[in-house]
A and B are shown apart, each in its own frame.
Chain A
């Protein structure tokens, strides 16, 4: 049986007194895995450990069965593409030269490197910017160049650290499509982000990190269910809302109502889908002018999971 793309056990990393990652044990196999966590949660530390750029203080990490704290780790990079979280830093280079240089570092000859660079640029729709220096590109374009360099050798494992930062909506969509396609082809993508809906857009499988600890791991839907058990707030503006709210309360689909002097009504519910159905029926006549639902965003999710873990 072939080794999983990434396997780690008791992985710990400190930066002086600061805990970067603490006791992470997990396996990541084929498909897209979302690495989700707020800034400083340990996502980039995990990526660096998985690429051998930093060494663990304790524990170990393997990529395709190869320990990444050993000198012979470089062999595994034939199968790995990594887009670092930071900017590209080779500002004086033209995009094509930058990619060509990295392709040659991967062992390609000069001509082959040029072909690989052209193909990678084409993949991220930057062919027309091949001769532009990285310093002359927008952040979104540089992000695409970063993605291109990770794709140079069609890697079996793609590690993307906040790949959508600074990208325009069109680039975001094409990047998300690419990530989904990569995962669907049987290869592995680790997609790190601090934005929940970005991760939701590419995968259902997530690893949640918080303050360097593994908070949860599994299907996003299962984690979402936990979130959905928490009372949610729906803010309504319109006419005749008091009667509608009273009816929802009586039917048991709302657990609390607050009426504001402005006429706005806040409903609290543990049955959000049922409430939304009810409101859709009642509000079809135009009684509801606006509706806002507090999103189960990352903070909510983490707050909930932290409560659960206490």
Chain B
């Protein structure tokens, strides 16, 4: 191992929103030099069964920026240890390890972006693509007293998804929230959006 004259990165922390996890740390600065960093991780399995083995992060071994997208490294709902070290040529710092292990079940879930459109008399919804972890619970109803609320589970896709065949002259409202299977949690609902259907209301 190189002599550890390079200071170890400090202030490691993870920001996680909608199952996108980013590890950040304070940069190690050496005037007129480019410092590189390497990130490694251990899941609970490794910590218990092969504690001497650390796995290099897929995107940040090495990297120049004082942050690392570890989303693809975290592939189970267990707690992960993360560590970073700095390198400059042959100089290598000590490892700096995240104080508290990270578990993806702590991610912040935000209401999904959605776009409600019509194609003729068909109510369609296009949902923000948040990645394969996500499903969407879409709730929709006709805006009239005593209207029944319908729920549809929508999986991520490229195309708008068909919700309902609607009647001319009526108004329909929609809201959605995300559900993440891996951690069994859902977001808050998005703001409700309503649309008015073209045409004359049907005679009763």
> Do A and B assemble together?
no
Interface residues of A (CB under 8 A from B): none
